[in-house]
Every structure is written in C-alpha cells, then in structure tokens.
Amino acid sequence: MITKKDNPTNNRDFEGYIPDVLDKLANQPDCNCTFELQLVADGKYGQERLDRSWSGMIGELMRGVR
C-alpha cells in the first residue's frame, strides 16, 4: 500500500492492492461494512519478531489496535 500524500487523512489518499480489495468488498450488495485506512504506528510492513509477535499491520490487527 502506498500513499499519495505525505500525511494521508482519508482512504482516497492510499492506493494499491489492499485499498482496492477493501473497496471492492465494501461495495458488494450484501456487505454492510466500512473501513478506514491509516498508516501503522511502527512504519513496518509486518514481520514476525523473535518473541513470535508481529510488527506492522499484521501486529496491529493481532493486538486489536484501532
């Protein structure tokens, strides 16, 4: 996922595979969902650490970060 701006403030400021997939899912007739994209706090892409936790978006999802 990449950003169109240095300081993204809404979903339109992101582009790439994940924003495209989420947009397609949210626009399905049977899907009653919304989403909000944001940069992860640690700036990582997601990598398993030595303690078996994860960095990046994967880690935020696993920890329930909002």
> Is 44 within 8 Å of 54 (Cβ atoms)?
no
pLDDT band at 12 (very low <50, low <70, confident <90, very high): confident
Q: What is the pLDDT of residue 39?
A: 86
Question: 34-56, pLDDT tens digit by residue?
Answer: 888 888 889 888 899 999 999 98
Q: What is the pLDDT of residue 47?
A: 92
Could you give the residue ranges of the DSSP H alpha helices within the chain? 17-26, 56-63
| Higher per-residue pLDDT: 1 or 65 | 65
pTM, full prediction: 0.64
Q: What is the pLDDT of residue 43?
A: 86
Length of the chain: 66
